[in-house]
Structure 1
Amino acid sequence: MTFKTLGAKAAAALDKELMSTGAFSLDQLMELAGLSVSQAVFRVHPTNKGRRILVAVGPGNNGGDGLVAARHLRHYGYQPTIYYPKRPQNELYQRLVKQLEDLDVPFVDDFPTALKTADHVVDAIFGFSFSGQVREPFPAVIDAMAETEIPVTAIDAPSSWSIEAGPPSEGVGSNFHPDVLISLTAPKPLVKHFRGRHFIGGRFVAPAIAKKYDFDVPEYDGLDQVVEVGPNGLKL
């Protein structure tokens, strides 16, 4: 099976559909997305490779997915650290932060310094709704992720990439190529530019909704919330 992609407009419409006719709340979708991310990280970077996971969190839903993933990773035995420079006042995000604080997960203000002691990085800055210019303080963070030799897992899209066209031709993110990508619900068109390990996560979409948006739900094994696919889009 070669998996079809969803553009930014279709992905946004799908999210609205899931929260209307699908009867999911935003909390549920974020929890399921973050759980998928945590399983992908566990798959590519088991604890014996190092437990220190640095999560770069943006101000939107992609960042919320990263916060949820960090909580699950903490319960798996990892030692996550959170870089979260732009915190929205929304109650949902505040609750996600409180859950991490209750687990003694540290929050840091200096990403480059935290990167020096990390074993793996999760890019949860920007998702499929990103467009335009990367604003402060994230240009330096994306540059640091691009230059580090530490493996990076990106959630849904490598931050700064165009959902349709992939990495920018110049400037911030033009040389950012994460090691791992987890596409949430369905891959986005940018995957044709991605050359690392690719996972699909989102084991909750009803067949009727998938049919309406013309994408395929992969066959998940056992308790898995993610499926790894190869460069040709076929399940590994």
Structure 2
Amino acid sequence: MAMKTLSAKNAAALDKDLMSIGAFSIDQLMELAGLSVSQAGSHFIHPLACFHPKLHLLRPPYFISVFRIHPPSRGRRILVACGPGNNGGDGLVAARHLWHYGYKPTIYYPKQSKNDLYQRLTMQLKNLSVPFTEDFPKAIKEADHIIDAIFGFSFSGEVREPFPAVITSLQETHLPVTSVDAPSSWNIEDGPPPSGPGASFMPGALVSLTAPKPLVKFFKGRHFVGGRFVSPDIAQKYDLDLPEYEGIDQVVEVGSDEQKL
């Protein structure tokens, strides 16, 4: 039986329950989401050297497989494309963890939020001397891997400036791309747009946060579920069939049938 998906309406309601019933703050949820994204890369690249190096050094087997097959010396430059909302915040958190893992993230964050949380996430990166860029075409030429943290499950409507050209670059690049929760420009229910930016965008990997969204039925790459913080009562309320996480992992890879690999 395939893993159950979470609609946009229920995803938003679940977030509210996590912050009320679950007593999580938005800071905590964003930190956990970004940590999941950063850890996912250790699974992405240990089978093949062409996948994404968002690595964690927390579990010895992954440490060994990552550094033997795709050492940082072969691809430490990670371009993190962040949007103005929560998805972008997840990307900022992931970038900070990646820096601590030994990678060299660069942040493309053209619409920086004035919200205190995002300001603090940005300052944490600047305190680590992580560079920010406004030149995406130049940054993509100097990257080894890309994190797509532009738009998440709540995206709808048209892609607005300056992101149409960015998403077009993501769908045309030969670099590996990992999307956070949703490939940017995709509709949570209907998948890629019928035309325009993102119509042919298919990232190499996707990290679904909390639970998969309906768009995964259109996704053809490697799929991971991240977010080891949902309590049994909330999972039951939303009829979630979440995978079992091993050890201290924050992510689980699932197959095309959404079963754990």
TM-score (norm 2): 0.89
The answer on 1:186 being equivalent to 2:211 is yes
1:17-32 aligned within 5 A? 17-32=17-32
The answer on 1:96 being equivalent to 2:121 is yes
| Equivalent residue, structure 2, for 1:139 | 164
Per the alignment, in what secondary structure is the counterpart of residue 5 of structure 2?
coil
* Matched AA of 1:150: L
1:98-117 aligned within 5 A? 98-117=123-142
1:30-109 aligned within 5 A? 30-44=30-44, 45=53, 46=66, 48=71, 49-109=74-134
* Matched AA of 1:9: K
* Matched AA of 1:197: R
The answer on 1:215 being equivalent to 2:228 is no
Aligned equivalents of 1:220, 1:94: Cα separation in 2 = 32
| Equivalent residue, structure 2, for 1:11 | 11
Post-superposition offset of 1:3:
1.1
Per the alignment, in what secondary structure is the counterpart of residue 56 of structure 1?
strand
Aligned equivalents of 1:152, 1:42: Cα separation in 2 = 14
Aligned equivalents of 2:152, 2:97: Cα separation in 1 = 20
Post-superposition offset of 1:218:
1.2
Per the alignment, in what secondary structure is the counterpart of residue 19 of structure 1?
helix
1:223-234 aligned within 5 A? 223-234=248-259
Aligned equivalents of 2:222, 2:245: Cα separation in 1 = 17
Per the alignment, in what secondary structure is the counterpart of residue 68 of structure 1?
helix
* Matched AA of 1:138: F
Per the alignment, in what secondary structure is the counterpart of residue 2 of structure 2?
coil
Aligned equivalents of 2:116, 2:229: Cα separation in 1 = 25
Q: Over the residues paired in the alignment, what is the CA RMSD in angstroms?
A: 0.9
Aligned equivalents of 1:208, 1:35: Cα separation in 2 = 23
The answer on 1:195 being equivalent to 2:220 is yes
Per the alignment, in what secondary structure is the counterpart of residue 124 of structure 2?
helix
* Matched AA of 2:170: M
| Equivalent residue, structure 1, for 2:202 | 177
Deviations 1:125-155 (A, max 9, x none): 0000100000000000000010000000000
Post-superposition offset of 1:43:
2.7
Identical residues among aligned pairs (%): 71
Post-superposition offset of 1:117:
1.2
Post-superposition offset of 1:2:
2.5
Q: Which runs of 5+ in 2 are unaligned?
A: 45-52, 54-65
* Matched AA of 1:178: P
Assess if the C-alpha contact under 8 Å between 2:43 and 2:253 holds in 1: no
Assess if the C-alpha contact under 8 Å between 2:148 and 2:179 holds in 1: yes
Post-superposition offset of 1:41:
2.2
Aligned equivalents of 2:215, 2:101: Cα separation in 1 = 30
| Equivalent residue, structure 1, for 2:56 | none
Deviates more, 1:209-218 or 1:183-192: 209-218
Post-superposition offset of 1:217:
2.1
Deviations 1:135-180 (A, max 9, x none): 0000000000100000000000000000000001111100110000
Aligned equivalents of 1:43, 1:145: Cα separation in 2 = 22
Q: Which runs of 5+ in 1 are unaligned?
A: none
Q: Which runs of 4+ in 1 moved over 6 A?
A: none
* Matched AA of 1:20: S
Aligned equivalents of 1:205, 1:218: Cα separation in 2 = 11
Aligned equivalents of 1:90, 1:203: Cα separation in 2 = 26
Per the alignment, in what secondary structure is the counterpart of residue 123 of structure 1?
strand
